[in-house]
Structure 1
Amino acid sequence: MKKFLAMSILAACSSSVFADVNYSLAITEPEHHLGNVSVEFPETAQAHLDVKLPAWRTGRYEILNLANGVRFFDAKDDDGKPLKWEKIDHSTWRVHLNEPTHVNIDYQVYANELGKRARHIDDSHAFIDASGFFMFSESFRQDPVTVKLDVPKAWRSVSGMENAGSKHSFKAADYDILVDSPIETGINELHKFTVDGRDYELVIWGDGNYDVEQMLTDLKKLVATGNVIWDSYPYERYVFMVHATSGAGGATEHLNSTIIQRPRDRFGSRKDYLAFISTAAHEFIHTWNVKAYRPKGIAPYDYTNINYAKTLWIAEGSTSYFEDHLLVRSGIAKTDEFFDTLTKTINRHLQTPGREVQSAAETSFDKWINQGGDHARNYSTNIYLEGSLISMALDIDLLEKSDGKISYRDVHRALYNKHRLPDGFTPDDVKAILKELTGRDYSAWWQANVDEPAAIDFDALLAKVGLGLTRPEGAKSVPSIDSFAKNSGELLTLTHVRRGGAAWQAGLTTDDKIVAFNKKHVGKDLKASLETFKAGDTVTVDFIRRDALQSTTLTLGEDFDKEKKVTALKDATPAQMALFKAWMGVDHPNQAK
């Protein structure tokens, strides 16, 4: 009886084991951002087949409701006869079946959300992330897939997936690979290169002030650094996709590719170029950290619901931390440029009151619902910022206690070797690796720095590697209301009021429009309007709230005209300089002096 039941269940799932799911996308009206999708599901004997479009996409931990672009859904059987269907939730269509049959689905997709990096079509290209275009069924999620594109004749199609017989068709082993292998098709330029026997492609859509030769030179250096952390590479071919565009910015990691978006005129200066190549390093690191191993809770992906995990700070923050290391070790960035980046990270952390409220574990869990704006800065933090600094604190602690022999790189090497997908890792797995590497129990450290808001002593931490966090010479004390403001015509509108600061204590809040200090109009620049005062002065503030003029008194806080900066200690000891080299892989700036 049990054997018969098991066979019946198997037959109900599908009449063929691992038959192909075939997708096609026709882009016939690109100027209207429209595409027509067809999906052929294998024969099934189920009473109904649920087909879904993901509600979010990998790499962005936020419900995006991607099904809102679907129209003209239709379902037919083997003979082209209509099948009854109904939509049962925000992203699931249920197709009812009376007998075993293939199920053929057709629908239209509206794709005009470039910045979400899930779906975009226009008259020059299409960026196709499967989560924004291609429906799936759990019944066939592990079956092989093919994708065929019908696009304008002059377009070129590039993806991390293998080609399937033509230049506009691709194949993947299953839907999970498809959804993690976006396609860039359109008018673009393509460059290919090989490093250490692995093939790479750089495809660029859009005109901009980028220097392709510089990009290729540095990408070649970057991709050679994988062995700085890991024992092997998880791919034989990798694709860098770049959008030089307007109105969109950011990047997303994928299985063996990445999509990087930047304003078309933000490549030329050294500052802008470093931002680009840093992003490329970040996404390259994700090929291991997230795509080869990732936290339990997002492994395997649940494409239609929130995927909770308390270690997203490792997935994102540790990746941010390592990107600077690879840039320095490869010679792409100088140590002074690294110090500038670290300075910004530390100062941003110190200027975020939420660091005292929310732990890295909590912000990881809440990533899906974290709101932006003033409240978030005052009561929350984020996985990138906190994760990066906690990674640094752990790395230097490991190096110091092992005389430079054990580092945080060893932790990630062990995660890659021991917790590769499909299984995800847990906080206990990381603590077990730490104990195995060092012989010490890191539970108390974890509680103090991960499960509770971390209180990092940057002076003590940086000194261990011969660095300091100091105010530049000649820095002057200036008065402050501990707030940020934007120019809104003739008035200044508060955009962030730091919790516990001068404006906060005076009862001011975001969206208040500052009119005057001591009855003198503030003008268009907040700092300039405070130049006649000094820290500790009490001033009268006139402001507009709910279209009514109000007043309050405020005691000015103290700030400085120059922020503290990370610099190399001139009197760094040989031990500090040795630890710096073990940490960054290059000599301490004062090593040869």
Structure 2
Amino acid sequence: MFKKSLLALAVCAAAPAWADVDYHINLTEPTHHTGQVDIVFPDVGSSYIDVKMPAWRTGYYRILNLANGVRDFSATSEDGDTLNWEKVDKSTWRIHLPESAQGDDIKVNYQIYANQLGRRSRHIDDSHAYLDASAVFMYADEYRHEPVTVSLDVKDDWRSVSGMEKKGEHEFVADNWDILVDSPIETGINDLYKFSVEDREYEVVFWGEGNYDAEQTVEDLEKLVQQSQNIWQGHPYERYVFMIHATSGAGGATEHRNSTIIQRPRYSYASRDDYLSFLSTASHELVHTWNVKAYRPEALVPYDYQKENYTDLFWLAEGSTSYFQNHLLMQADIMTTDEYFERVASGVERYYGKPGREIMSVAEASFEAWSDQYGDRAHNFSVNIYSEGAMVSWLLDLALIEQTDGEVSYRDVHNALYQRFDADEEGFNSADVVAILDELTGQSWQQWWDENINSPAANIPFDELLNTVGMELTFASADEQKPWAGWRGKAADEGIELIQVERGSPAWDAGFTPGDVVVAYDGKRAAGGRFEEALQERAVGDTVEVTFFRRDQLHTAELVLGEEQHTGAKIVPVENPSAKQKARFLQWLQIPHPNAS
């Protein structure tokens, strides 16, 4: 006992004192996308300290090398003496402390260049700053769990908003750096709306002019947030912030601990399709507040910001979120069932149009998410953790409902994950998910998992799934099918440059490959002509002589036009659903079947 006490004292003596790490950024001269960052690490008692910039940010599983925005790095002691430092890798600055400075507060200073709006990492201009701490504020491992304060110097007419607790008009506090790094700051000229639901506070901040209706958006977001309890019991937040950017082209969204950032081109909010797309994104990010932020795979607990965090469960993190997002919109009476099934039908078409579904499982796609799957590899040999992840989530949901006579659904699985795994402490793995399936149903799900998650889900029985819930899937009839080549191209100076050739398509069988530049068909010029229209006027089975450049050499090949399958998908309710079908529909989507009366 005595030795253990001495060891504890030694550890405490070596660790930094419990004092705030102070972060400050000066944004008073933002026109050229720069800010000046100061960080004070208290009571540094060692001979050196490594300060780091993350190599990636949460919600975007790619190495981004975020340290590339740092310039003019320096470090000083408490007395203002300049400290020596060296770069030890792409993201780490090692500051050396002479004995006289050990125990001092150490101040780090650098300029940050921020012009990455589309990556949702950092952007500074004369109207605002969007600051994701992973791309702006460095950290030190030994201080990662200490409290932080963040203060901003900004223009007089700027407003600052964040999911962090607000201490002043432009100052925030958090219990540790992990909260800071998952709580972006939006500061600038913006519009702010607030509302309360079930004793929880919500804020909606708009930056940028656009054709959105702010009042209607806030009204619908208020309806949306009320639907979360259809899946989970409880909330992981007391306050939640929607940050919305109307941009000059940047788009995308990212989930955070108790906030989200959503970006869309400024004139892509007004039409019904655009608005539903925006709300689907908002719903997706809200779902992530539970699925990923409140509970997530063990490989991401805690986040390691210096390297890839590999898991075979990204399909559950992203695909299941995509699966649930429009359910909440229907339950909120924002999206109609017709609009929902139009989107499901489009997803079915995309599924059939992706040869990669025969090659890659969603578990493998999850592990490979960090790799850049591009071009033909992405389409022909890979699947997507979002789209195919949503498909297997649907498959699992209806399998659960059917095998338990409606007693258990996929919602129960996610609620169990939420109740059992706190992402601040512990993550889950595939065996944990299978164990929950077994426990909830009293059946074994390992074989199902091996067949549909660990193996390619190449032939999802959509007809069967939809019939179970009283819906019917149809495709375009044979006489409605158009001639099909199986390639996609873009205009080039000489003709049409192929950017994708679908495996097993007529173009694939004819030997075409991305990079080929089609210049003529049957002796007619392709560039500037009506190449695509001319192909559509042919008949299935027709042969077209295609002239093309490859490696600057002219070639000719014969293309036999085929018939594309599984196009024109429609999902409609059966006219006279049985009582069981109506019950299954209600158990699945928690709304009545369209022909329930």
Task: Give the TM interval when normalised to the shorter protein.
Answer: over 0.9
CA distance in 1: counterparts of 2:536 and 2:130, whole angstroms: 50
- Does the residue aligned with 1:80 lie in a helix, a strand or coil? coil
Contact 1:476 1:560 in 2 (8 A): no
Deviation, 1:486, is 2.3
Deviation, 1:458, is 1.3
CA distance in 2: counterparts of 1:577 and 1:64, whole angstroms: 48
Aligned: 1:69 with 2:69:
yes
TM-score by length of 1: 0.97
Contact 1:61 1:367 in 2 (8 A): yes
| Residue in 1 that maps onto 2:124 | 121
2:534 maps to a residue whose letter is S
Deviation, 1:256, is 0.7
2:190 paired residue among 188, 191, 207: 188
| Residue in 2 that maps onto 1:58 | 58
Post-superposition Cα deviations, 1:386-411, rounded to whole Å, max 9, x if no partner, equal: 11000000000111112212100000
2:539 paired residue among 519, 534, 537: 534
Mean Cα deviation higher: 475-484 or 556-565: 556-565
Post-superposition Cα deviations, 1:160-219, rounded to whole Å, max 9, x if no partner, equal: 11111x200000000000001100000000011111221111100000000112101110
Structure 1: 5+ residue stretches without partners? none
Runs of 4+ in 1 over 6 A off after TM superposition: none
Aligned: 1:340 with 2:345:
no
Aligned: 1:289 with 2:261:
no
| Residue in 2 that maps onto 1:302 | 304
| Residue in 1 that maps onto 2:84 | 84
Aligned: 1:471 with 2:475:
yes
Contact 1:476 1:562 in 2 (8 A): no
Deviation, 1:451, is 0.7
Change (3 A) 1:375 1:65: same
| Residue in 2 that maps onto 1:38 | 38
Contact 2:494 2:517 in 1 (8 A): no
Deviation, 1:65, is 0.4
Contact 2:61 2:370 in 1 (8 A): yes
1:248 maps to a residue whose letter is A
The count of residues paired between Structure 1 and Structure 2 equals 589
Change (3 A) 1:197 1:9: closer
- Does the residue aligned with 1:242 lie in a helix, a strand or coil? strand
CA distance in 1: counterparts of 2:470 and 2:217, whole angstroms: 32
Deviation, 1:545, is 1.8
TM-score by length of 2: 0.96
Post-superposition Cα deviations, 1:456-475, rounded to whole Å, max 9, x if no partner, equal: 12122221112222125696
Deviation, 1:46, is 1.4
Correspondence list, 1:73-472, <5 A: 73-98=73-98, 99-164=102-167, 166-421=168-423, 422-455=425-458, 456-472=460-476
- Does the residue aligned with 1:441 lie in a helix, a strand or coil? coil
| Residue in 1 that maps onto 2:500 | 496
Mean Cα deviation higher: 103-112 or 343-352: 343-352
- Does the residue aligned with 1:36 lie in a helix, a strand or coil? strand
Contact 2:151 2:171 in 1 (8 A): yes
Contact 2:475 2:566 in 1 (8 A): no
2:340 maps to a residue whose letter is F
Mean Cα deviation higher: 287-296 or 533-542: 533-542
CA distance in 2: counterparts of 1:518 and 1:133, whole angstroms: 57
Percent identity of paired positions between Structure 1 and Structure 2: 52
CA distance in 2: counterparts of 1:367 and 1:524, whole angstroms: 40
Aligned: 1:565 with 2:570:
yes
Deviation, 1:526, is 4.7
Deviation, 1:588, is 1.4
CA distance in 2: counterparts of 1:562 and 1:54, whole angstroms: 44
Change (3 A) 1:295 1:475: farther
CA distance in 2: counterparts of 1:339 and 1:450, whole angstroms: 24
CA distance in 2: counterparts of 1:591 and 1:282, whole angstroms: 28
Contact 2:516 2:550 in 1 (8 A): yes
CA distance in 2: counterparts of 1:525 and 1:425, whole angstroms: 54
Contact 2:346 2:569 in 1 (8 A): no
Correspondence list, 1:2-13, <5 A: 3-13=5-15
1:391 maps to a residue whose letter is S
Post-superposition Cα deviations, 1:222-271, rounded to whole Å, max 9, x if no partner, equal: 00011100011111111100000112100000111100000000000000
- Does the residue aligned with 2:536 lie in a helix, a strand or coil? coil
CA distance in 1: counterparts of 2:529 and 2:337, whole angstroms: 37
Change (3 A) 1:469 1:488: farther
CA distance in 1: counterparts of 2:28 and 2:149, whole angstroms: 20
CA distance in 1: counterparts of 2:276 and 2:239, whole angstroms: 24
1:7 maps to a residue whose letter is L
Change (3 A) 1:532 1:161: closer
- Does the residue aligned with 2:262 lie in a helix, a strand or coil? strand
